[in-house]
Amino acid sequence: MRFDTKLVHVGQEPPAGTGDLVPPLHLASTYERDVQDPVRWFYARGENPTREDLERVLAALEDVRFATAFASGQAAGATALAVLARRLVIVSDDVYGGTHALMGTVADRGVEVRYADLADPGVADRVLAAAPPGALVWVETPTNPLLKVVDVARVARQAHEAGAVVLVDNTVAGPALQRPLALGADVSLYSTTKSVAGHLDVLGGALVHDREDLHEAFTAHRTAVGSVPGPFDCFLVHRGLKTLSLRAERQVATTGKLVAELCASPAVAEVRYPGLPGHPGHEVAARQMSGGGSLVSFRYRGDVGAFLRRLRLFGNAVSLGGVRSLASRPATTTHRPVPPDLRARLGITEDLVRMSIGIEDPEDLLDDLRNALGGGAAWRS
């Protein structure tokens, strides 16, 4: 079964007796044991059929056996760190602001956290060669918000030679454009809130992998701490997932048009997008991704606040990968938890704007962007 067919069919088999083409939503918090043969269902913090339907399709999309769904991407990341972070975590220097906050939690319990520019092959080679066995290598690619590209296959090969485990946060690209496990990673992490669900109406997260020991450890931790997603949230993520490929195709095509407009504007000092031939990671992105993605960052020469207020169709809000286009200033929103000196060193400065492109008509988005870049009338108070 191919990728797009899996999106629609896996985890959606009609139940016996009724033939519902959409499986029923299982809302129960507990289960009658006397009617089960054999007894499988105990309590919904541990088991839920709706959640397991979602996990089946998430695993199938990367051609592996296991996926563990969580209440949010942060909950998924916290579980991965609780299970995998022992002595050292080597992490991409440019990562989501919430990931910086998570790394602080393991640093507080004595685990060394070492940030490195894993998009730079020389830096990655040097850092990974010195990694002790059992280290966790946390890769984000493309990174958020600077859209650096890490060569997953290269990093995974070097990390495994050192006896390290590789986790790739695949939230920005999503499974329609990039499949880290096929490139050699051990675990894919998703905030399913983003492109997987795609409609800006649900929180969720997932860890996808093919190791039974990790499946047991992730599931046991989730059950113990209660970081499970509710059944209705799982239903919404699964429903949104069916149109993932269609949305990604439209978003990538529209993003290319907006990137061309940004590159041509005198109001823009720099454009960062993996689909651009001049991007430092373009060749790697072309190898490991099927498109440049729907996230673009750029440096605006004027008043960023005024620029954001002039936008009419782009919501001034955080998140990415959804059906509606959004724009924000990472330095004061998503990456506010990052220490100011580190933000400055990375280049997450006040002039940086991040745009997530939705599925609106491309010409309407172009008109909106041109108006904002050109200093047209603002519409927000």
Instruction: Dump pLDDT digits (tens) for 140-186.
Output: 999 999 999 999 999 999 999 999 999 999 999 999 999 999 999 99
For residue 162, which of 233, 98, 90, 226 has the smallest C-alpha distance? 90
> What CATH architecture does domain 3-241 belong to?
3-Layer(aba) Sandwich (3.40)
Which residues are CB-contacts of 234 (< 8 A; sequence separation ≥ 6)? 48, 50, 51, 53, 54, 69, 204
Strand partners, 195: none
Instruction: Dump pLDDT digits (tens) for 249-278.
Output: 999 999 999 999 999 999 999 999 999 999
Instruction: Dump pLDDT digits (tens) for 13-57.
Output: 888 878 888 888 999 999 999 898 888 888 999 999 999 999 999
Q: Span 365-375, mean pLDDT? A: 95
Give me the active site residues, please.
Answer: 45, 96, 169, 194
For residue 249, which of 4, 10, 58 has the smallest C-alpha distance? 4
* Average pLDDT value over all residues in the chain: 95
Domain ranges of the chain: 3-241, 245-373
Say which CATH superfamily domain 245-373 falls into: Aspartate Aminotransferase, domain 1 (3.90.1150.10)
Strand partners, 30: 43
Identify the three-state secondary structure at position 215: helix
Are 158 and 139 a contacting pair, CB within 8 Å? Answer: no
Q: Span 108-128, mean pLDDT? A: 96
pLDDT at 76: 98
What is the pTM assigned to this prediction? 0.95
pLDDT at 51: 97
pLDDT at 381: 44
Strand partners, 355: 296, 327
Instruction: Dump pLDDT digits (tens) for 199-228.
Output: 999 999 999 999 999 999 999 999 999 999
Q: Where are the alpha helices (DSSP H) in the chain?
A: 3-9, 49-61, 73-84, 97-108, 121-129, 152-161, 212-225, 231-241, 244-264, 282-288, 304-310, 340-346, 362-373
Q: Is the peptide bond before 38 cis (omega within 30 degrees of 0)?
A: yes
User: What whole-number distance in Å separates Cα of residue 215 and Cα of residue 36?
Assistant: 24
The phi, psi pair for 211, rounded to 5°, reads -115, 120
What proportion of the chain, given as a percentage, has pLDDT over 70?
Answer: 99
